[in-house]
Amino acid sequence: MRADKDNISIFYEDDMEQFLYPYLIGSPVQVKQILVNLINNGIKYNQENGAVYISLRENCISDTRVELDISIRDTGIGMSETFLKDIYKPFVQADTGARSRYMGTGLGMAIVKNLLERMNGTIDIKSKKDNGTTVNVTIPFEIARKTTSAKIADEDERSSLNGLHILLAEDNELNREIAVFVLEDENISVTQAVDGKEALDIFVKKPEYYFDAVLMDIMMPNMDGYQATNAIRNCGKKDAKTVPVIAMTANAFDDDRKKTQEAGMNAHLTKPLNVPELMKTIGTLCNRSERDNG
C-alpha cells in the first residue's frame, strides 16, 4: 500500500523453473520477517516514483544443502558510511538529514541481523547517500526430500494455533518484537507485558480463561518469571492453576529446568527460541479438548 501511495514500482523475478529444490527445511516465519523488513526499508526510504528490484538465486552447496541468495536494490535516499557502521544496533536512526523524517522503532535491521545469525546466514549492505541501497542476503537450507506429508503436518499445526490468545512477558524489546511477529504470523493474538509484575496484573484483570497460554521470560526486572508464575498460580482465579506457562530462558541446565518446574511452569524453552519447537509446544499445551478433560 505504501509503494502504491508513493508511486514506487516493485520488480521481482518469479521464474520458478530456475529452482531445482523448491522445498527446503527451515523457518518460513523467520525468512518472511527478514524479507518484510528489508523490502519495507526499500519502500520506506525510497523517493517518489522510485523502484525496488528483488532477485533470488539458488546455489547448490552439496547433495543435501543449498544457499538462497537474495538481492534487494532500491533507488532511494541511501545512507552515509557513518550511519552504515551502526545500522545493526537496536534503536539506531539517523539524527539528521532525509532519513530522520521517516519514523520507526529503530529495530528493523537489528531484527534482521539477529534472525540471520540464528539461521547461519549473512548480510551485506552497499549504499551511498542520495544514490540508493543494495542489500545482499545469503541463507543456507537443507533440502527437503519428503514434501507432501511435511506440508500437511505444517498446515494441521497452523490450524490448531489459529485464534489462540497468549500473554507474552518479555523485558527485552527486540526479543519481544520478534516473538510477537512469529506468534501473530500463526494468527495468534498477543498481549504484551514488559516484566513479571505487569504480566501478573494483566492476567488478574482479564476475564477467566481469557488467555490460552503464557510465555514467560525468566530474567526480568520488578518481578522475575519464577515469581510471576508463582503469583499467577496462587491468584485465586479459576484458570490460574491450569493455564499453560512456558518458560523462555537462555539457561538450559537441568537445575534451571527443575526451577521452572518447581515454579509451576509447564515447559522450558531456551533462547534463541526455536520457532518450530515453540509452535509445537504451544500446540500441545493448548489442546483445549485435552485440557478440558484433564
Ranges of CATH 3.40.50.2300 domains, the chain: 148-286
Residue 165: per-residue pLDDT:
96
**Per mean pLDDT, which of 37-41, 216-220, 275-279, 284-288 is the most reliable?**
216-220
Please state the rounded mean pLDDT for residues 211-228: 95
77-86, 175-184, 258-267: range with highest mean pLDDT: 258-267
pLDDT band per the 50, 70, 90 thresholds, residue 213: very high
Q: What does the DSSP 8-state code read for residue 264?
A: T
Chain segment 62-109, per-residue pLDDT in tens: 989 999 999 999 999 998 888 888 888 765 554 444 444 443 445 678
- The CATH superfamily assigned to 148-286 is Response regulator (3.40.50.2300)
H-run or E-run covering 65: strand 65-74
Q: What is the pLDDT of residues 36-49, one digit of tens each?
A: 889 988 998 898 88
Kindly state the cell numbers that stand for 1: 500500500
CA atoms of 223 and 263, how far apart (whole Å) = 13
DSSP assignment letter at 55:
E
Question: What pLDDT is stored for residue 288 in this prediction?
Answer: 45
Please give the pLDDT value at position 269. 93
The DSSP result for 111-144, as a single string, is HHHHHHHHTT-EEEEEE-TTS-EEEEEEEEEEEP
Beta strand 24-25 with 9-12: parallel, antiparallel or unpaired? unpaired
Q: Which of 224, 233, 215, 176 is nearest to 196 (CA)?
A: 224
Please tell me the pTM assigned to this model.
0.59
- Taking all residues of the chain, what is their mean pLDDT, rounded to a whole number? 84
d(CA 89, CA 81): 15
C-alpha cell at 16: 520458478
- Written as nine digits, the cell of 63 is 547433495
Most distant CA atoms of the chain, gap in Å: 63
Domain with CATH 3.30.565.10 in the chain: 7-143
203 vs 14: CA distance, rounded Å: 46
Of the ranges 11-20, 170-179, 219-228, which is most confident? 219-228
Task: Kindly list the distances between the CA atom of residue 184 and the CA atoms of 138, 165, 180, 245, in Å, as whole numbers in the listed order.
Answer: 25, 10, 6, 18
Q: Is 22 left (phi over 0), alpha (psi -120 to 50) or beta?
A: alpha
C-alpha cell recorded at residue 263: 515454579
User: Per residue in 226-247, is it b (16+ CB within 10 Å) or e — as a string?
Assistant: bebbbbbbeeebebbeebbbbb
Is the bond preceding residue 272 a cis peptide, omega within 30 degrees? Answer: yes
Does domain 7-143 correspond to CATH entry 3.30.565.10? yes
